[in-house]
């Protein structure tokens, strides 16, 4: 497992804050298989706008499964370079990502960090003062919704990436939106509509 922490002071008490845990491929950027070259990163048109809506209310994390590392399709260095590109381009658009968490394992390895295991959200809660009960997970796979459930957060499913393919697998009560911008608007509305529980 690999986490890239933000540059924050250690050992200082911070108030508990809500966060958004974002899937990478198919949610923020186009899913183009095992990405090796940052030049092949293509953001969805609404990604920067969506995250700018969220930045004042939520910490933002990227949580991504990259089994291609264990399969030998990409290296950890490839994954880091692509993630660095994603974070840098978001920073240039005015959006800060607190940390990027990567699981490089195959599901058959039975690791603790692969989604939907809630290892990384819990790590963020400890390291960055995240209140998981007021947080959200966003992604294009049913595992992203299950991640939210196991972490005690709320899940939002986007129909970009593999979202349409797996839509029929979702529980009937799932929150489903066309893409990341609609997800951002939904989260803001949800946080505002239930302030006692989620703000």
Catalytic residue positions, numbered: 23, 25
The answer to whether the CB of 127 falls within 8 A of the CB of 110 is: no
The answer to whether the CB of 148 falls within 8 A of the CB of 129 is: no
Residues paired with 136 in a beta bridge: 20, 154
The secondary structure element, H or E, covering residue 199 is: none
- For the purposes of burial, counting CB atoms within 10 Å of the CB of 194, is it exposed (0-12), middle (13-18) or buried (19 or more)? exposed
Neighbour-count burial for 10-37, b at 16+ CB within 10 Å, e otherwise? eeeeeeeebbbbbbbbbbbbebeebbbe
């Amino acid at each position: 497992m690999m986490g890239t922490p933000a540059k924050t002071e250690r050992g200082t008490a911070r108030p508990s804050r809500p966060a958004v845990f974002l899937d990478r491929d198919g949610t923020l950027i186009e899913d183009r298989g095992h990405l090796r070259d940052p030049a092949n990163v293509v953001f969805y048109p609404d990604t920067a706008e969506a995250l700018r809506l969220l930045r004042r209310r939520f910490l933002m994390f990227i949580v991504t499964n990259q089994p291609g590392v264990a399969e030998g399709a990409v290296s950890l260095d490839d994954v880091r370079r692509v993630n660095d590109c994603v974070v840098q381009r978001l920073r240039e658009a005015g959006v800060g990502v607190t940390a990027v968490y990567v699981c490089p394992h195959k599901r058959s390895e039975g690791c603790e960090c692969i989604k939907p295991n809630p290892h990384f959200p819990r790590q963020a809660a400890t390291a960055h003062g995240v209140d998981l009960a007021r947080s959200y997970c966003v992604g294009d796979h049913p595992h992203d919704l299950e991640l939210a459930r196991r972490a005690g957060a709320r899940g939002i499913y986007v129909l970009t990436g593999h979202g349409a393919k797996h839509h029929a697998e979702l529980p009937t009560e799932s929150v489903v939106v066309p893409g990341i911008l609609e997800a951002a608007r939904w989260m803001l509305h949800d946080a505002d509509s239930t302030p006692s529980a989620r703000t």
